[in-house]
Amino acid sequence: MNTEDRPEGTRLDGAAAPGKAATPVQPGPEDHRLQRRVVSVLVGGQILGGIGMGATLSLGSLLAAQLSGSNAWSGMAATMSTLGAALAAVPLARLAQARGRRVSLSTGALIAGTGAVVAIASTALGIFPLLLLGLMLLGSGSAVNLQARFAATDLALPGSRGRDLSIVVWSTTIGAVLGPNLFGPGEAVGAVLGLPPLTGAFAFSVAAQLAAAVVYGTALRPDPLLTAMAARVPDLEAPQPKSGLRILRSNPRARYAVAAVALSHATMVALMSMTPVHLRDHGASLTVVGLTISLHIAGMYALSPVFGWMADKAGRLRTILLGQAMLLSSLVLAGLAAESGTAVTASLILLGLGWSASVVAGSALVAESAHVQDRPAIQGVSDLSMNAAGATGGALAGPVLAAVGYSGLGFLSIALVVTVIIWTALQPRRPLQDLD
């Protein structure tokens, strides 16, 4: 790992002791085997969770329009899911801090499964507010997916932390691709079970989230976070855990890492969410719109292991700058060639790639910006900030599109990228002695 991003004397858990360099702990073969097992379990849980989310969120907008009686409410499906993910981020992080990743991840999956049950019940009863509650509970599945990437870093060595995190991020692609293809089978299963139309896929979501909870609850042993906390050097007294906000106030590197992830996510959501509207307004078919978004999603996840490797080898900051360069290229292309369908598609691919590089490297930096006992707190704040920034970016993108068009949206979004670039340039390149 590049020394620009990691403090000297880092322990196996990746954090230096307050005021002095920590005593290195050399990992043994058992440590490597345990970390491989943790990553494998997280990948399995991510695939199941991705199926559960992908099979239902698209249908949520249709159900919202159906139960409310107006297409104007269809956007509330994504809004409530994002809100649910944001609301679950900090409580799940606190649960991880107190009880470990195993309890936190399995609890989040069970809440998401409950949300799917509530969504089915709301459709059967015809109660629109109940559907919104179900979709909000389903959002905890997204919070679990975000926390799982951090769980991959609990026992990872600094030189492989970005790679392990990125593998878990990449595994989300499998569930995201499989999930929407379950619409047809879901309707068939729903008919057999006597479920209302459009809710069959929610039955798959219930099963997938329950399976994910079982995987996390039974296979994530020993718990990676509790193991990392127990592996602290015995002669160093562990300070009391801090709140996420306190860490942000006192820790410039954590503040930067959280902001880089959040602003990159806001940039991506703002442009991506308005692209289908822009393409349809310019006569693109649903097939073209779907292909563009599919290529964008591929850009977000397919190369995440490559960016994880780069973050480990070239450094977190350089990888974040690479991501910002791709985001900047995407926005400039969208601004200059908004009338070209081919250019818009290329812009969306670059947007996904830039997001991937920035979020993978930024998340690795978040994971190592605080001591092990403080990591769940700062990670919860990071996930909350990421979801809030994405929701804000998506909400503001609509009025901006209406006011200045797609080109204007692309050019105005450059301000977010420039902010991250300048902040990155101001980060110290020398090794940090004290993370607190």
- Mean pLDDT is highest, among 141-155, 221-235, 406-420, for 406-420
Q: Give the chain's mean pLDDT.
A: 82
Instruction: Choose among 236, 224, 238: nearest CA to 156.
Output: 224
Q: Which pair of tokens denotes residue 352?
A: 């996904």
What is 366-423 written as a DSSP string?
A: HHTSS-GGGHHHHHHHHHHHHHHHHHHHHHHHHHHHHHHHHHHHHHHHHHHHHHHHHH
Domains of the chain: 26-230 (1.20.1250.20), 243-436 (1.20.1250.20)
Share of the chain above pLDDT 70, in %: 83
- The one-character DSSP state at 100 is -
pLDDT at site 198: 76
What is 127-160 written as a DSSP string?
A: -HHHHHHHHHHHTHHHHHHHHHHHHTTSS--GGG
* C-alpha to C-alpha distance for 224 and 159, rounded to whole angstroms: 17
Q: Is residue 353 left, alpha or beta, with left meaning phi > 0 and alpha meaning psi from -120 to 50?
A: alpha
Instruction: Choose among 75, 61, 79: nearest CA to 136.
Output: 79
Residue 417, burial from CB neighbour count under 10 angstroms (0-12, 13-18, 19+): buried
* C-alpha to C-alpha distance for 160 and 171, rounded to whole angstroms: 17
- Mean pLDDT is highest, among 1-10, 183-192, 347-356, 381-390, for 347-356
pLDDT at site 57: 61
Instruction: Please compute the mean of the pLDDT values over residues 237-261 and round it to a whole number.
Output: 79
Instruction: Please compute the mean of the pLDDT values over residues 166-173 and round it to a whole number.
Output: 87
Instruction: Choose among 179, 202, 180, 178: nearest CA to 190.
Output: 202
* C-alpha to C-alpha distance for 268 and 189, rounded to whole angstroms: 36
Query: What are the residues whose beta carbons fall under 8 Å from the beta carbon of 340, sequence distance 6 or more?
Result: none
pLDDT digits 0-9 by tens, 202-216? 888 899 899 999 999
pLDDT at site 33: 84
Instruction: Number of helices (H) and strands (E) in the chain: give both, helices first.
Output: 17, 0
pLDDT at site 232: 62
Quote the crossing angle between the two packed helices 128-138 and 76-99, to the nearest 10°.
40
pLDDT at site 75: 63
- Amino acid (1-letter code) at residue 408: G
Q: Which pair of tokens denotes residue 320?
A: 């974040």
pLDDT class of 18 with cuts at 50, 70, 90: very low
Name the residue with higher pLDDT: 150 or 29.
150
